[in-house]
Structure formats: structure tokens, C-alpha cells
Amino acid sequence: MCDLQKIRLLDLDREELAAFVSSLNMPRYRASQIYGRILAGDDIPDITSLSKKDREVLSQAAVSGLPEIVSVRQSKLDETAKYLFKVSGGVLVETVLMKYSYGYSVCVSSQAGCRMGCRFCASSGIAFSRDLTPGEILGQIIAVNKDKNIRIGHVVIMGIGEPLDNYDNVIKFLKLITSEDGLNISARKISLSTCGIVPNIIRLAGEGIPVTLSVSLHNPFDDERSEIMPVNRLYPLDELFKACREYVRLTGRRVTFEYSLISGVNDSARHANELAARLSHLQCHVNIIPVNKVTGTGFERPDREAINRFAKMLEEKGIPATVRRELGRDISAACGQLRKSVITEQSADQSLSADKEA
């Protein structure tokens, strides 16, 4: 059996692993042993508490599913590290490790590429390749934990891809990572960022996994938002805010709105006033992100003064707002940038044809 047809152990929860182990005629109790080691980032041949024969049987039917490190860029300014991983089929996936005062946080990708087409985002320049499986999302965290020998306490699903466009796999990932049998990371320490796929925000609200919902807003006017975010044509702002209110009602969590400030596009007093008006009845917080320059988009960030002025205008109207501290500026920490630059380098020397397809 080729590796692509094999079961990826990281895709399974403990019960599923127990059933799989039994199907291979191994005692079910072996599942706990195997699960613990796989979550620690070990590969099947490393599980020496299993007999050689059992490791062989397991290897014939399964792979761990841990991604392979292609490159790591370490910031010289802070502890940010950006990983490029290869998952099955040669698909490339980006992950960022960040260090905050409260500990380590990892930003994971949920898809290889993205279908949403936001105009300011580097991921939009990468053709959509495929959804990531639950284990491929989880594997990014485990691989970073192992590489740095750390314990990651916070997770943001804010890398490449739209998590609510890969709903079932992302929900299973959330179940795996929050499970007591799994990494046991509380839903409160996980943020899921979406461009606003309304029906799935409402579904997520009912899942009983109260993660922090982060909504990429970027403009409070429908016509202007549709210009930079095509998803707005399908799910306009009234529907989006209604879904956010439902999320707050069902989970008791306040929603975060991401607002990438783009000079001359969405940074005026008119924008701040409309944003404040639209958010005034919503339990929320606005995260202002000076837009990261992505070649070809033509978008520039406003100067520091204009950024602070925008934040102040919101706060004066009673909307809590913070300007996001930027980590890893020297290593292209913006969404999609590393993968894009590596692919460009690879395309230039025509060395990895699989990546060009992705």
C-alpha cells in the first residue's frame, strides 16, 4: 500500500485509534500507548514499547501523518519562527510560532491555498490545492512543539485558507485538540479567523466548542467591502453581524473583528464612524492590523500617526480597539508570504514541480 492510501494516525481520535488497532489484531489497550507517542511527534518506528512485529503491522497500514519540515525562518527581532511544512502529496503548508508574554502561540493553516480571493492577501495569489485533514492541521502544532521542545498553549487558525470553507475537518481538528485525551488545549485559548461564511458561523456557535471567533472585517460599507473581499457579495454585512450576535448569544464569548488598515482605502474618519456605529450593540473588540505589503496588490499601510488616530476614533465611541503588535516582520510573517516566496524561488530554478501545481 502506498503512503497516500494509508490511514493517518493523527486524523483519528482515541476511540477511532482503538478500533483501528483492534482491526489489526492488536489489543485495544495498545491504542493509548500509540496515541501518546504520536501526539508527542514520534513516528511509528520510534514507538519502541511496541514489538518490532506490531510496528511493522502498523507501518503497513498507517503513517503518523506528521508533516515534514521543509524550511524554518527564525526572526532575529523576536522569537517568531515561520515553518514551511510538506504534507502528503507534496502539498506545502505554512505555520508561524509566536512568543507572547502569556506563552507560545501557533498560527496554523487550514487549507493549502485559499478560494476566497481577498485582494490584499498573499494567500490569494496561491492557487487552491486542497483542504487539510484534521490531522494535518493538528500535525503543524505537534511538529513545532517537537522541533522547539516547547509546549504550545494558544492556537490561532489564521494561516493560509478559510477554516469555515473546510468546516468538517476544522471541527474535527478542534475536537482533537481540545480533547482531554489529546493536547487538551482549552477552546478559550483557540481563535478561529474567518472572512465571514455566515451559515458556518452559526453552525460553529452550536458546536459546543466556544473558541474565540475572529472576523476579518476590513470595511464597514458593503460596496467597499465587496471590492476587497468577494465573500461579502454572498454574505453582506447585515447577515454577518447577525451571525456574530448569534455567536455571542450562544457561546458567551465576545467576537474579535480584524481590521487591516490600508492607506486611502479604509482608514478615514468616515470608516471609523461607520464601524463604530455598526459595532455599537455587539460585544466585541477590534484588532487593527497595519496592512502588510504584498507585492502586486498596491496596498500600503498608513503611517503610525494615522493608525493611532483610527484606533482613538473607535475608542472615543466606546469600541475597544488595539493595534496589533507585529512579530516577525523580518521573516515575512504575513499570511501566505513565505510559501509564496519559496514557491517563487523554486519555480525560478524549476526544481519542485509538485509545488508549482499547488
Q: How far apart are CA 34 and CA 181, in angstroms?
A: 12
User: CA-to-CA distance for 16 and 99, rounded, in angstroms?
Assistant: 34
Cell of 357: 501545481
Q: If DSSP codes are grouped into helix, strand and coil, which group holds residue 323?
A: strand
- Nearest distance from residue 215's CB to ligand SAH, in Å? 7
The verdict on 128 binding ligand SAH (CB under 6 A) reads no
For the bound state, the minimum distance from the C-beta of residue 241 to ligand SAH, rounded and expressed in Å, comes to 16
Tell me which amino acid residue 124 is. Answer: S
From the CA atom positions of the chain, what is the Rg in Å?
21
Q: Does the protein bind ligand SAH through residue 162 (CB under 6 A)?
A: yes
Return the residue of 334, 338, 352, 358 that touches ligand SAH, per CB under 6 A: 334
Stretch that binds ligand SAH, among 17-25, 33-41, 112-120, 349-357 (CB under 6 A): 112-120
* Selected range binding ligand SAH among 13-21, 53-61, 69-77, 115-123, rule: CB under 6 A: 115-123
**DSSP code, position 321:** E
Residue whose CB is less far from ligand SAH, 37 or 340? 340
Question: Which of these segments, 60-68, 116-124, 130-138, 276-284, binds ligand SAH (CB under 6 A)?
Answer: 116-124
Asked if residue 121 binds ligand SAH (CB under 6 A), the reply is yes
Reading phi first (left if > 0) and then psi (alpha if -120 to 50, else beta), residue 9 is in alpha
For 120, the grid coordinates are 490584499
Q: Residue 156: what residue type?
A: V
How far, in whole angstroms, is CA 161 from its chain's centroid?
Answer: 7
Minimum CB distance to ligand SAH smaller for 44 or for 197: 197
* Active centre residues (catalytic): 94, 335
**Residue 335 interacting with ligand SAH (CB under 6 A):** yes
Distances (CA, A) of 133 to 67, 74, 159, 264, 336: 12, 27, 15, 39, 19
Choosing from 64, 80, 133, 216, the residue that interacts with ligand SAH (CB under 6 A) is 216
- Per-residue x/- mask for ligand SAH, residues 175 to 214, rule CB under 6 A? ------------------xxx-------------------
Positive or negative CA dihedral for 335, 168, 128, 42?
positive
Q: Does 145 bind ligand SAH (CB under 6 A)?
A: no
Q: Identify the three-state secondary structure at position 229.
A: coil
Nearest to 296 by CA among 336, 245, 352: 336
CA distance 187 to 210: 6
In terms of Cβ atoms closer than 10 Å to its own Cβ (0-12, 13-18, 19+), residue 148 is middle
Q: Is 298 exposed, middle or buried (0-12, 13-18, 19+ CB in 10 A)?
A: exposed
Map the footprint of ligand SAH across residues 273-332, applying CB under 6 A: 289, 291-292, 294
Cell of 94: 505554512
Question: For ligand SAH, which residue of 20, 85, 120, 173 counts as binding (CB under 6 A)?
Answer: 120
Q: What angle do CA 187, 189, 195 make, to 5 degrees?
A: 80
CB of 258: closest distance to ligand SAH in angstroms?
4
104 contacts ligand SAH (rule: CB under 6 A): no
**Choice from 94, 258, 267, 355 touching ligand SAH (CB under 6 A):** 258
Q: Which is nearer to ligand SAH, 206 or 296 (CB)?
A: 296
Q: Which is nearer to ligand SAH, 158 or 342 (CB)?
A: 158
Give the distance, in angstroms, between the CA of residue 138 and the centroid of all CA atoms in the same chain. Answer: 10
Residue 136, interface with ligand SAH (CB under 6 A)? Answer: no
Which listed residue (64, 200, 256, 260) binds ligand SAH by CB under 6 A? Answer: 260
| Interface with ligand SAH: number of residues (CB under 6 A) | 18
Least CB distance from residue 65 to ligand SAH, whole Å? 23
To the nearest whole angstrom, how small is the minimum distance from the Cβ of residue 163 to ligand SAH? Answer: 6
Which residues make up the interface to ligand SAH (CB under 6 A)?
A: 116, 118, 120-121, 158, 162, 193-195, 216, 258, 260, 289, 291-292, 294, 334-335
